[in-house]
Amino acid sequence: MESLPPPALRVWKISGDEVATLSAEDALDQSNVRSLKRYLAREHGMPGFCQRLLQNGLELDDQTVLEFPSELQLVMVPSRVASYAEELQLANSIRSRDLQQAELILGKPCDLKRSVLRPILSAAAAAGHTDCVDLLLFASPRPALDNLGEPLHMGSYGGCVDIVRLLLHARADKDTLISGETPLSKSAGRGHVEVLSLLLEAGADTQMGSPLCSACASGVAQAVRMLLSTGADKNKRASDGPPVYIASDKGYTDILKMLLEARANANDTSGDDTPLYRASFRGYAVTVRLLLEAMATVNTPVHGETPWAAACWRGHSKTVKLLLNAKADKDTSSVLCPAIRNGHA
């Protein structure tokens, strides 16, 4: 015997056209009229404050609990463009997190021009005010939400998981480039792994904006692991060099090990600088050992100085020994370097 379909809630226009059909299992954050309006705003671009939902000719309050099955009628009331004074009032209300005042302005209902909405929304996202972001998205028509890249950057940089989720649901462009960075590279650079996970699940491009380099610079190994596992180019460079160079320069051995295990190039340079030279210069013995095991070239000079000479002159004894064991050429002009004077070479 075939199972019966789950009881459904249907929403109709006055014209008789069906707007939506939802079952009790459908993802509504709460089973009330406000959550249904939020769903219609997100999925159908209908501003929440312009929606009127009726049942048997009576308008339903936002807190009315939805019943399944049921038939609702949707009426859209016209809105007007917000005045300059209202724009200022709204900006101040969002800044001070006065949701009651903000809802009074938006609920008239009135529309915000895109040029006004975007900076207000970005400011709310930067401040981590999830409730303000939710209200602005609820109130805004779809055309005004065509470009949510900047607010998504702000939420990603701040590690605001709920804000990023709201903006992704509102179809924010997850790959918007701003100053050479994407939301993915912003979250990777701050080590916000929960936001990183959301963006990756949403299909964010792992090559744009060099997010792997940003993750390497953050020192958060989990962020690096997530990006490598989703196909990030292990050798794609940023302005400060490729991933291996960045990890070597900072001495992040766990990250370097992951990159080398993924077959990243151990000799990939940043300008004339090599990962082995940089690690030797800084005296990161474990980093040097990992690079040597990955067949990094031992004697490549940087501005006339080899990795051995860089370590020797700075007294990095353990690094000097590692390089000598790897057949580094001794620079005879360095006979007075500290490591030699101290009997380490």
Tens of pLDDT, residue by residue over 292-312, are: 999 999 999 999 999 999 999
pLDDT tens per residue across span 158-210: 999 999 999 999 889 999 999 999 999 999 999 999 999 999 999 999 999 99
Has this prediction a pTM greater than 0.75? yes
List, for residues 54-94, the tens digit of each pLDDT value.
999 999 999 999 988 899 999 999 999 999 999 999 999 99
Mean pLDDT of the 144-160 span? 90
Structure confidence at residue 341 as a pLDDT band (50, 70, 90): low
**58-67, 210-219, 323-332: least confidently modelled range:** 323-332
Return the CATH superfamily for domain 234-345: Ankyrin repeat-containing domain (1.25.40.20)
Q: Domain 8-78 carries which CATH code?
A: 3.10.20.90
Residue ranges covered by each domain of the chain: 8-78, 80-146, 234-345
What secondary structure, in 3-state letters, does the chain show?
CCCCCCCEEEEEECCCCEEEEEECCCCCCCCEHHHHHHHHHHHHCCCHHHEEEEECCEECCCCCECCCCEEEEEEECCCEECCHHHHHHHHHHHHCCCHHHHHHHHCCCEECCHHHHHHHHHHHHHCCCHHHHHHHHHHCCHHHHCCCHHHHHHHHHHCCHHHHHHHHHCCCCCCCCECCECHHHHHHHHCCHHHHHHHHHCCCCCCCCCHHHHHHHHCCHHHHHHHHHCCCCCCCCECCECHHHHHHHHCCHHHHHHHHHCCCCCCCCECCECHHHHHHHHCCHHHHHHHHHCCCCCCCCECCECHHHHHHHCCCHHHHHHHHHCCCCCCHHHCCCHHHHCCCC
**219 falls in which pLDDT band (50, 70, 90)?**
very high
98 vs 27, more confident:
98
pLDDT at 335 over 50: no
Q: Which of 16-30, 46-60, 238-252, 326-340 is least confident?
A: 326-340
Average pLDDT of the chain is: 91
